[in-house]
C-alpha cells in the first residue's frame, strides 16, 4: 500500500504529537507500507526523524514550502495553514498524475489545513484527537472522507451525533507504546544511572506543563504528602510551573529534573516508586478526549500508577490496573500517593495487570488495525 501521511507539524521535535506521528509512521513502514510523511518546511532540527527518534525503520520525510507565521495572531495562523494546504495539494496532484496513486492519511493538527485532502482524487482517512463542531467546512469534509480514526469512544459518539457520520466508518484506537523501548530496569540501577538518591521515596510525573492538564492540583497535593515523599516533575522547569499557576508558592518537595529526550524517559520512570497522570474536569480535552501516551508508557514500566478518574482515562484503564483519585481533589490525590508509596506491596496485583494491559496498546497493533480499516473502506 502507498500511504501519504499529511501532518501540519514541525518535525522532528520533542512534543508528544511529534513522537506519536513518528512512531505511527515507523509502525506503518514495519507493516510493509510505502509511506511518505508530508510536513511543512518549518524550522526544526536538521536530523532525520529516523535518527532523531532512533526509529528501527527509515521514514521518508517530504518537506514542502509553507510560511511559518503562527506567532502572528489569527491571520498568521490562517496563512500558515493555507500555505501548507496549497503545497501538499499540488504535490499530491502531481504524484497522482505521475501514476503514484495511494491513500491519503491525515491528522488534524489545526482546524482546517487537512480539509483539502478529500479533494485529491485518492481515498482519504482522518485521524482526530478531539470532537468536531457542525460547521459548513466540516460538513463538506465528512461527506467525502472515507473513514475516521479516533482515540476514544467519546469522540466517536460526538462526531457521529454532531456531524451525522456513520459509526461503522469510525475506528476507535487509543495511542500506543513502544514496548521495546519502555521496559523497566531495577529501581536501584536506574537511580544510579541518573544520580538520584537511593533511599528517597519518589513519585513521578513525566510530561510537558500545559494548563489543560490541571497541574494546580499537584501543587496543592504536594503540601499534604508525608515529609519523606518527593514529587519529581520530568519535562518542565520550576519557572514554567510558577508562570502557569502564578499566585502559588511551590512546596519544597517538588523537584524539576528538566526536559529529557524520549529515549531517556524509561530510565527516569524506572527510578520512581510510583507514577501519576493528571486530568481535570475543568477542561474538555483533558476530561473527555485525551489519550496521553504517558498512561500506556506508565503501564509498561511495572510501577504503581495513580491516575485521575476522568472519562478519558477510564476508556483505557480501570481500578484493576491503576489507583484512581478524584479529579481536581488535592486531598484525595495526596491520600492515594501516601498510601501507594508507603504500601507498595499492596498494589502488586495492579502492577501486574497494568503490564498485561500495556501489551494491548502497541504502535504495531494500532497500525495493523488501522491498515485493515483502510482496506475495508478505501
Q: Are strands 103-107 and 274-277 parallel, antiparallel or unpaired?
A: unpaired
List residues bridging with 125 in a β-sheet.
105, 147
The pLDDT of 29-37, averaged and rounded, is 98
Residues 88-142 pLDDT 10s: 999 999 999 999 999 999 999 999 999 999 999 999 999 999 999 999 999 999 9
Same domain, 10 and 126: yes
Structure confidence at residue 247 as a pLDDT band (50, 70, 90): low
Contact 39, 138 (CB under 8 A): no
Same domain, 44 and 57: yes
Is residue 42's pLDDT more than 90?
Answer: no
**114 within a domain of the structure (yes/no):** yes
**What does the mean pLDDT of the chain come to?**
94
pLDDT of residue 178: 96
Same domain, 197 and 161: no
List residues bridging with 255 in a β-sheet.
232
CA 200, CA 13: separation in Å to the nearest integer? 32
User: Kindly report the CA angle at 300 between 296 and 301, in degrees rounded to 5?
Assistant: 120
pLDDT of residue 75: 94
How many angstroms separate the Cα of 354 from the Cα of each of 133, 213, 263? 35, 22, 21
Model pTM score: 0.94
Structure confidence at residue 249 as a pLDDT band (50, 70, 90): confident
Residues 292-329 pLDDT 10s: 999 999 999 999 999 999 999 999 999 999 999 999 99
pLDDT of residue 10: 93
Domain that holds residue 19: 2-176+362-377
The counts of H helices and E strands in the chain are 15, 13
**167 within a domain of the structure (yes/no):** yes
Q: Looking at per-residue confidence, does 13 or 266 come out higher?
A: 266
pLDDT of residue 21: 97
CA 223, CA 122: separation in Å to the nearest integer? 56
**182 within a domain of the structure (yes/no):** no
Task: Tell me how crowded residue 130 is: count the other CB atoms within 10 A of its CB.
Answer: 16
Same domain, 6 and 148: yes
pLDDT of residue 271: 97
**60 within a domain of the structure (yes/no):** yes
The pLDDT of 184-203, averaged and rounded, is 96
Is residue 31's pLDDT more than 90?
Answer: yes
**181 within a domain of the structure (yes/no):** no
Same domain, 18 and 126: yes
**31 within a domain of the structure (yes/no):** yes
CA 305, CA 317: separation in Å to the nearest integer? 10
Q: And the C-alpha cell for 282?
A: 475543568
Weakest mean pLDDT among 1-15, 43-57, 251-265: 43-57
Same domain, 368 and 350: no
Q: And the C-alpha cell for 219?
A: 501543587
**SS3 state of residue 40:** strand
The pLDDT of 250-277, averaged and rounded, is 94
DSSP tag of 101: -
Q: Which helix (H) or strand (E) holds 306?
A: strand 305-308
How many residues would you count in the chain? 378
CA 163 to chain centre: 25
Contact 273, 205 (CB under 8 A): no
**55 within a domain of the structure (yes/no):** yes
Same domain, 52 and 72: yes
Q: Which residues neighbour 72 within 8 Å (Cβ) at sequence distance 6 or greater?
A: none
- Residue 66 sits in a domain whose CATH number is 3.40.50.2000
In total, how many domains does the chain have?
2
Same domain, 336 and 319: yes
Give the gyration radius of the chain's Cα atoms: 21
Same domain, 161 and 307: no
**316 within a domain of the structure (yes/no):** yes
Same domain, 129 and 29: yes
Amino acid at each position: 500500500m502507498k500511504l501519504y501521511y499529511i501532518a501540519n507539524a514541525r518535525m522532528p521535535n520533542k512534543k508528544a504529537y511529534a513522537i506519536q506521528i513518528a512512531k505511527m509512521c515507523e509502525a506503518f513502514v514495519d507493516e510493509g507500507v510505502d509511506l511518505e510523511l508530508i510536513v511543512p518546511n518549518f524550522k526544526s532540527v536538521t536530523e532525520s526523524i529516523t535518527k532523531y527518534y532512533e526509529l528501527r525503520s527509515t521514514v521518508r520525510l517530504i518537506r514542502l514550502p509553507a510560511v511559518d507565521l503562527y506567532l502572528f495572531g489569527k491571520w498568521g495562523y490562517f496563512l500558515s495553514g493555507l500555505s501548507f494546504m496549497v503545497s501538499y495539494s499540488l504535490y499530491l496532484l502531481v504524484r497522482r498524475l505521475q501514476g503514484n496513486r495511494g491513500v491519503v492519511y491525515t491528522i488534524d493538527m489545526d482546524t482546517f489545513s487537512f480539509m483539502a485532502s478529500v479533494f485529491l482524487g485518492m481515498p482519504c482517512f482522518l485521524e482526530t484527537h478531539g470532537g468536531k463542531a457542525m460547521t459548513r467546512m466540516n460538513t463538506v469534509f465528512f461527506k467525502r472522507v472515507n473513514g475516521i480514526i479516533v482515540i476514544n469512544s467519546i469522540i466517536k459518539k460526538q462526531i457521529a451525533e454532531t456531524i451525522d457520520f456513520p459509526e461503522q466508518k469510525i475506528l476507535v484506537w487509543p495511542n500506543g507504546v513502544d514496548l521495546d523501548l519502555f521496559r523497566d530496569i531495577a529501581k536501584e540501577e536506574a537511580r544510579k544511572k541518573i544520580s538520584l538518591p537511593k533511599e528517597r521515596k519518589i513519585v513521578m510525573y513525566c510530561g510537558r506543563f500545559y494548563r489543560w492538564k490541571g497541574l494546580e492540583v499537584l501543587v496543592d497535593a504536594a503540601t499534604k504528602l508525608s515529609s519523606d515523599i518527593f514529587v519529581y516533575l520530568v519535562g518542565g522547569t520550576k519557572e514554567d510551573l510558577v508562570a502557569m499557576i502564578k499566585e502559588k508558592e511551590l512546596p519544597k518537595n517538588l523537584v524539576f529534573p528538566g526536559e529529557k529526550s524520549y529515549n531517556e524517559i524509561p530510565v527516569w520512570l524506572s527510578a520512581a516508586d510510583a507514577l501519576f497522570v493528571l486530568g481535570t474536569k475543568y477542561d474538555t480535552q483533558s476530561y473527555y478526549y485525551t489519550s496521553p501516551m504517558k498512561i500506556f508508557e506508565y503501564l509498561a514500566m511495572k510501577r504503581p500508577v495513580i491516575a485521575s478518574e476522568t472519562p478519558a482515562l477510564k476508556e483505557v484503564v480501570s481500578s484493576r490496573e491503576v489507583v484512581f483519585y478524584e479529579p481536581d481533589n488535592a486531598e484525595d490525590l495526596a491520600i492515594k500517593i501516601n498510601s501507594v508509596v508507603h504500601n507498595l506491596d499492596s498494589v502488586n496485583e495492579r502492577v501486574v495487570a497494568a503490564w498485561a494491559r500495556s501489551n494491548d496498546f502497541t504502535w504495531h497493533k494500532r497500525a495493523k488495525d488501522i491498515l485493515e480499516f483502510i482496506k475495508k473502506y478505501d
